[in-house]
Amino acid sequence: MSINRRRVRAIVRKELRDLRRNRSLTVGMAVLPLIFCVQPLIAVFTLDPAAAGTLQHEHVLLYMLGIPALVPSFVAAYSVVGERQQGTLEPVLTTPIRPEELLLGKAVAALLPALAIAYLVYAVFLACVELFAASAVADALIRPADLLAQLVFTPLVAGWSIWLATLISTRSNDIRVAQQFATLASLPSIAVTTLVAFDVIPVSPVAGLVAAAALLLLNQVGWRVASAMFDRERLILGTNG
Amino acid sequence: MGLIDRGGRSRRVVEPHGRPAADGGRGTAALSAAALSKRFGDRVAFRDVSFEIGYGEVFGFLGPNGAGKTTTVRTLGTLIAPTSGSATIAGVPLTPENGVEIRRRISIMPESPGLYLRLSVVENLECFADLYQTPHPGERIDRALQAVHLIDRADDACGRLSKGLRQRVALARALLSDPEVLFLDEPTAGLDPAAARDVHELIRALGRSGVTVFLTTHRLSEAERLCDRVAILNTTVRTIGKPAELREQLFATTLTVSTLAPLGEPGRVFAGLPAVRAWRPDGPNGYVLTISDVAVAAPAVTRALVDAGADVLSIGESHHTLEDVYLQLIAENETGQGG
């Protein structure tokens, strides 16, 4: 099955325009990362330079992978059920667009701002650490391997959260319920990244590669499953019948 | 409206894109259904719906609330699957595999406009032009907006538009894809009379240019004025035909006579007159005569009344509207169900 890029682009552009003008969603997306940023900053600033050695065994930067896990799930959970409740889904479904194209467009539109926010918050965090933390702490915290992992895993974690939330959105009848379930669904990802960050789950370069490949595959599977679960009739009629 | 122009011949503003030329190889029916049915569990939405609609025909689909009109449109528009029966839309059989191909050839304007309210009019149309892969989208959008007289509101957010203007944006959106078959679900709901007249002109122009229009409406006068044929649906199709034919089928031609004072012996006055089949009183000084030919009956009745010394106030042929036909059929259906 071929994917029509123009149709996908149309959805991405429409979603981004709509998102930019939807204050409740943009505020929600902006507030959450602050929680993930402020807490570790306080911990880092108050850390005794003599204890910087303990950071060598942790990957504190990866703690912030909670941002891509959580932020896009709000938008993705809203994407299908929100349109349905607004009555805008039916006109879209009367066009030649396929579920795969519609969902891909919505996923990309959720991913792009999530990546922008996540990378921006990382940049702010790193800048704060470089500028204000003790140099021993900064050196222990900012390591090339962790930075690379941060860069690579951010889109993969975000993508997985998006597909879970999209799947929930296609099967849900209420926006708030969809967003609550999507938040719950992103918790395991946050838990895993936190356990890795604090060295409860030890990682190696090979384990990182395997995890990245697995997430890439999960993203593909998520897209296919969400598309297969996209039931035009149920979405139009609002029932299972 | 801006849909017909150029060279004195009616043509569509929106150029065809990569699909068969008008009527060439498309068969005779733009839209056909055979015993099409849809059930939701035990509830029947519609059943045994059959019809054939030609290219360029404006077809009215009438019925009371809950009759199955919108579900029929959604079924023909591939949004929901029929339970049984078959249909062909714009030459393509209605099957799950053909959904994309059918949706390429049709356009549906749902009853609720379903616009993105935070986006401007033109942004809404840009999105749909891309979803339909419309060539020269800017040009198409301008023409569609001109057709619905909204070119000066192109940059307004849809959320700021009145209900009537939103309806017009939805109509412009439906025109973007140059459809072979256009489904309009209550297109003039919420429009003021002038705007409704513009939409009527647009529908006529679309029909003349070869677009098949499937119009569901509650406005029976609208259907009577616009539609080549109508179907009256109440879960099943009660009747299909031209509005004039339906009137003739259901209602005998009648003459309504009104006199200044009641006739002494109306039976003697009306008995044996040519082309008069029967009569009945209609109020104290009125009479309704069932006739076979108005040109014969009217002069004979006039002469008979004058000979009888009656002071005639009026003699006129009774006109039945599509509304009369509709109400009669729906009433028959309800009586049938009740009994």
Would you kindly state where each structural domain of chain A is located, as residue ranges?
5-237
pLDDT (0 to 100) of residue B1: 43
For residue A58, give both structure tokens.
């942790």
In which residue are the tokens 């003739």 written? B248
Looking at residues A140-165, what average pLDDT do you find? 91
Beta strand pairing call for B312-317 and B212-216: unpaired
For residue A137, give both structure tokens.
């702490």
How far apart are the CA of B270 and the nearest CA of chain A, in angstroms? 59
With bands split at pLDDT 50, 70 and 90, how would you rate the model's confidence at A240? very low
For residue A53, give both structure tokens.
């050695």
Pick the range with the lowest mean pLDDT from B66-75, B224-233, B311-320. Answer: B311-320
With bands split at pLDDT 50, 70 and 90, how would you rate the model's confidence at A241? very low
Looking at residues A88-102, what average pLDDT do you find? 96
Dump strand ranges (E) for B131-285.
Answer: 181-185, 212-216, 229-234, 236-241, 254-259, 276-281
Q: Which residue of B has its CA nearest to A241?
A: B40
How far apart are the CA of B169 and the nearest CA of chain A, in angstroms? 12
pLDDT (0 to 100) of residue A59: 78
Higher pLDDT, B317 or A9: A9
Q: Please state, rounded to an integer, the average pLDDT across all residues of chain A.
A: 88
pTM attached to this predicted model: 0.81
Higher pLDDT, A102 or B294: A102
pLDDT (0 to 100) of residue A74: 87
From A6, A96, A233, residue closest to B104, measured CB to CB: A96
Helix H, strand E, coil C: the string for B93-115 is ECCHHHHHHHHHHEEEECCCCCC
Percent of chain B with pLDDT over 70: 88
Distance (Å, whole) CA B2 – CA B21: 22
Distance (Å, whole) CA B174 – CA B229: 22
Looking at residues A110-116, what average pLDDT do you find? 94
How far apart are the CA of A237 and the nearest CA of chain B, in angstroms? 9
| Residues in chain A within 8 Å Cβ distance of B103 | 94-96
- What are residue B157's DSSP bridge partners? B120
Q: Is the pLDDT of residue B129 over 60?
A: yes
| Residues in chain B within 8 Å Cβ distance of A98 | 100
A-interface mutation test, from B83, B107, B130, B180, most A Cβ less than 10 A away: B130
With bands split at pLDDT 50, 70 and 90, how would you rate the model's confidence at B141? very high
The SS3 of residue A87 is coil
pLDDT (0 to 100) of residue A101: 97
User: Which range among A22-31, A41-50, B189-198, B274-283 has the greatest average pLDDT?
Assistant: B274-283
A-interface mutation test, from B109, B116, B163, most A Cβ less than 10 A away: B116
Q: Is the pLDDT of residue B23 over 50?
A: no
Distance (Å, whole) CA A25 – CA A99: 24
Beta strand pairing call for B106-109 and B92-93: unpaired
With bands split at pLDDT 50, 70 and 90, how would you rate the model's confidence at B35? very high
Looking at residues B141-159, what average pLDDT do you find? 94
pLDDT (0 to 100) of residue B339: 38
Short-list A16, A24, A194, A34, CA closest to A108: A16
| Residues in chain A within 8 Å Cβ distance of B110 | 90-91, 94
Distance (Å, whole) CA B238 – CA B251: 16
With bands split at pLDDT 50, 70 and 90, how would you rate the model's confidence at B22? very low
| Residues in chain A within 8 Å Cβ distance of B40 | 237, 239, 241
How far apart are the CA of B9 and the nearest CA of chain A, in angstroms? 30
Percent of chain A with pLDDT over 90: 53
- B189 — alpha (psi -120 to 50), left (phi > 0) or beta? beta
Fold assignment, B252-317: Alpha-Beta Plaits (3.30.70)
What element of type H or E holds B48? strand B43-54
Count the Cβ atoms, other than its own, within 10 Å of residue A180. 14
Higher pLDDT, B123 or B288: B123
What Å distances lie between residue A72 and A15, A32, A158, A189, A234, CA to CA? 13, 11, 7, 13, 25
Q: Is the pLDDT of residue A71 over 70?
A: yes
Q: Is the pLDDT of residue B9 over 50?
A: no
The SS3 of residue B312 is strand
Short-list B331, B328, B335, CA closest to B246: B328
With bands split at pLDDT 50, 70 and 90, how would you rate the model's confidence at B325? confident
Whether residue B77 contacts residue B106, with contact meaning beta carbons closer than 8 Å, is answered with yes
Q: Is the pLDDT of residue B20 over 50?
A: no
In which residue are the tokens 């090979």 written? A206
pLDDT (0 to 100) of residue B53: 95
pLDDT (0 to 100) of residue B10: 34
Residue A1 DSSP label:
-
Distance (Å, whole) CA B305 – CA B266: 9
Q: Is the pLDDT of residue B19 over 70?
A: no
The interface pTM score, or ipTM, of the predicted complex is 0.88
Q: Is the pLDDT of residue A36 over 80?
A: no
Pick the range with the lowest mean pLDDT from B94-103, B244-253, B280-289. Answer: B244-253
Distance (Å, whole) CA B198 – CA B201: 5
For residue B93, give both structure tokens.
């059989």
Beta strand pairing call for B212-216 and B58-62: parallel
pLDDT (0 to 100) of residue A87: 92
Residue A96 to residue B114, Cβ atoms within 8 A: no
| Residues in chain B within 8 Å Cβ distance of A97 | 131
How far apart are the CA of A83 and the nearest CA of chain B, in angstroms? 9
Looking at residues A14-40, what average pLDDT do you find? 84
* Helices assigned H by DSSP within A21-143: 23-45, 60-63, 66-86, 89-93, 99-132, 135-141
Q: Is the pLDDT of residue B2 over 50?
A: no
Whether chain A has a CB inside 8 Å of the CB on B143: the answer is: no
Higher pLDDT, B245 or A71: A71
Looking at residues B220-244, what average pLDDT do you find? 88
pLDDT (0 to 100) of residue A146: 85
Q: Which residue of B has its CA nearest to A102?
A: B131
| Residues in chain A within 8 Å Cβ distance of B98 | none
pLDDT (0 to 100) of residue B219: 79
Q: Which residue of B has its CA nearest to A86?
A: B114
Q: Please state, rounded to an integer, the average pLDDT across all residues of chain B.
A: 85
Q: Is the pLDDT of residue A185 over 50?
A: yes
> What are the domain boundaries of chain B?
29-242, 252-317
Residue B80 to residue A96, Cβ atoms within 8 A: no
Residue B328 DSSP label:
H
Higher pLDDT, A46 or A86: A86
Alpha-carbon radius of gyration of chain B: 25
A–B: how many Cβ contacts below 8 A?
85
What counts of helices (H) and strands (E) characterise chain A? Answer: 11, 0
Looking at residues B36-44, what average pLDDT do you find? 93
| Residues in chain A within 8 Å Cβ distance of B135 | none
| Residues in chain A within 8 Å Cβ distance of B172 | none
pLDDT (0 to 100) of residue A136: 82
The SS3 of residue B88 is strand
With bands split at pLDDT 50, 70 and 90, how would you rate the model's confidence at B3? very low
What Å distances lie between residue B129 and A11, A98, B3, B172, CA to CA? 11, 15, 18, 11
The listed CATH number (1.10.420.10, 3.40.50.300, 3.40.50.720, 3.90.78.10) that belongs to domain B29-242: 3.40.50.300
With bands split at pLDDT 50, 70 and 90, how would you rate the model's confidence at B334? low
How far apart are the CA of B160 and the nearest CA of chain A, in angstroms? 14
CA distance from start to end of chain A: 28
Beta strand pairing call for B29-40 and B276-281: unpaired
Q: Is the pLDDT of residue B249 over 80?
A: no
